[in-house]
Structure 1
């Protein structure tokens, strides 16, 4: 009997995969239908509230009546109806741009009751965000994107990022707060001249940002009484304690290898602050933490680490290792100038910790113990 059971493992996995794919397709289809419905309702609300057809309490009355006639209905509160109006107005004509989506709403006067006809949405003018991207993310994601990103290019960036990286709402909020759109591809680097493959260099440039928001590091919680007395070990301790959040901040496809990673070449002990592996780049990524402003000597130190990694740690199928200096401050023009003399692929970026954030923003963050409890629950 046991051999018979084990003999069907492949068949079970085949059926299981089909079920999961069908569930994913159903969820994706349901989300698309919901967005199309919300877009249509938003257009209907917009047409009747902006021209004064409805009174001031119309949305509240409509919401209450809907819940009476459809018990258990969720998502159609007065506030939600206003969000749907924002959703329609933003995407049917965002600012001075040509409409991003064609109108999916028609008020058919010849039909009984003025029927809302919900047609499939179509993207009209984007090379960076597909309709699949747009329909793949939930309405809550769209709400936060519309509230936090003001230009069309920004919004399309975050929609694609959410769809491609499968960001949760909380991860999206972190990305918006870190202003990832304006920090993409701006890291000071020498990738184009040091990486052998042009596509690999462009991928590396897109992977790293010019500034990282490490707002999860609370120096007071780490036992530092004087906020100015924050050295590399304190930063490293905070990052390692919150490595899950650091990787989410750092970007997708990073796997943590270790901190104070030991290198032993020619009998000389050396230690890399943080070592990662990036699956998209297929390479080791060494990160050096510096508590003060940038110094050219940091590049020399990191270049030596990368040489040892490539000669003693890198595997045959992997690409050349990449290094990143994370420092408190830098003159970008100066860094761009001196980094070109190095033959190992490296970048330099800055960071901010909790002590660098405005007081009002810090007060709005949950206590660090609550964050840890949430992380522990999500790991369970």
Structure 2
């Protein structure tokens, strides 16, 4: 063991120097400095393990020695050091060090070589340098572990940065497969919205399926999913409205449930009414417990017309509607929705009762989900 310690002392000193330098600079830019440090350490470990043919216990030994040299040091366990190495290997084709910092030569930064990075990403990715360095290492760890393609990873990086997602919210987004479901809801936005950019934003906003895993029908006092009517579902959503908005995405504000519309003396009630800041419009959501029916589009179209004529303000865009139902035939919905001039989409939802045992086992316990209502989103 002593001889192993001698073999790894150079690595410990190099990493320790980088840690101390990064800690000094952290007051200026905590998250970016931390990520740059982890990338540098990961690169160093990657190159050294290849050059020196380290055994399987090398990184754990280095971690133990770091803990002894820097008592109280957190975040540099053997597991985390291996994650830093993975972080480097996964992103090194796209994160390019400046000429002053060449990790390939087995040197970590010192006071003469500041940690400065250039980020090269595809122009069409929508992910920027600031996006990448504004989210934490735990976010990055989940992204590189669960998203396998570059496009998918960049999607979640940008989503985390733009929507300020917590790690818990990121996990929900990945479980709901938001990357593949973005813009997939059957809709008539391109034909119903006169402004093309508004239509494209609307298409990107709504998914074809929403995972309402915070609603446990058993906790609502219902023995069977088939017994859940729209009002019971609405009750569960309103009680967990913060989670529902997180599921829907960025920019939604809750206006009310059973929102009263009074046109020509006829009382009507929208199940859930939101306002979306990015779309600058009211969003009416109709909840349906069963499969999609054509009549739902007619009902929602009428609500949208009243909203536009009696509730919409001059500076706001036309209201948008969404039918949220248990099941649908996508091709049939696409065909039927073309006949309507009011902008609408249709999506399905799942609650915890509907999900597989494998997915349910992967979810946080219900107490943890409830705690999110009072915690950080």
TM range, normalised to the smaller chain?
0.7 to 0.9
Partner of 1:81: 81
Distance 1:79 1:363, change over 3 A: same
Q: CA RMSD in A?
A: 2.0
Change (3 A) 1:147 1:108: closer
Q: What does residue 90 of structure 1 align with?
A: 90
Asked if the contact 2:240–2:373 (Cα under 8 Å) also holds between the matched residues in 1, the reply is no
Distance in 1, matches of 2:152 and 2:326, equals: 26
> Residue 37 of structure 2 corresponds to which residue in structure 1?
37
Per the alignment, residue 72 of structure 1 pairs with: 72
Deviation per residue, 1:246-265 (Å, 9 max, x gap): 00001111111111111111
Q: State which of 238, 242, 265 in structure 1 corresponds to 2:240.
A: 242
Q: Distance in 2 between matches of 1:194 and 1:28?
A: 49
Counterparts of 1:376 and 1:45, CA distance in 2: 40
Q: CA deviation at 1:102?
A: 1.7
Deviations 1:163-203 (A, max 9, x none): 11111111111111111000111111111111121111111
Matching residue within 100, 103, 108 for 1:106: 103
Cα distance change of structure 1 residues 108 and 151 upon mapping to structure 2, 3 Å threshold = closer
Q: Which consecutive residues of structure 2, in runs of 5 or more, have no partner in the other structure?
A: 1-24
Structure 2: how far apart are the matches of 1:282 and 1:82?
Answer: 45
- Residues 330 and 350 in structure 1, CA contact (< 8 A), matched pair in contact too: yes
User: Shift of residue 374 of structure 1?
Assistant: 4.3
Match of 1:343 among 329, 341, 344: 341
Distance in 2 between the 1:342 and 1:147 partners?
Answer: 43
Asked whether the 8 Å contact 1:37–1:118 carries over to 2, the reply is no
C-alpha deviation, 1:294, in angstroms = 1.0
Q: State the alpha-carbon separation in 2 of the partners of residues 279 and 312 from structure 1.
A: 20
Q: Distance in 1 between matches of 2:318 and 2:364?
A: 40
Change in Cα spacing, 1:377 to 1:183, as seen in structure 2 (3 Å) is closer
Q: 2 CA distance for matches of 1:160 and 1:295?
A: 36
Deviation of 1:121 (Å): 2.5
Distance 1:144 1:179 in 2: 13
**Matching residue of 1:136:** 134
Distance in 2 (alpha carbons) for counterparts of 1:27 and 1:338: 58
Alpha carbons 1:106, 1:118 under 8 Å: kept: no
Residue 300 of structure 1 is matched in structure 2 by 298
Q: In structure 2, do the counterparts of structure 1 residues 349 and 28 end up closer, same or farther at CA, with 3 Å as the change threshold?
A: farther
**Residue 320 of structure 2 is aligned to residue 326 of structure 1:** no
Q: How far apart are the structure 1 equivalents of 2:121 and 2:376? A: 39
**CA offset digits 1:311-364 (Å, max 9, x no partner):** 111111111110000011111111111111101000011111111111133234
Aligned residues: 345
Instruction: Give the TM-score of the pair, scaled to structure 2.
Output: 0.87
How far off is 1:162 after superposition? Answer: 0.8
Task: Judge conservation of contact 2:216–2:351 (CA < 8 Å) in 1.
Answer: yes
User: CA, structure 1 residues 369+82, in 2 after alignment: closer, same or farther (shift >3 Å)?
Assistant: closer
**Which among 91, 116, 120 is matched to residue 116 of structure 2?**
120
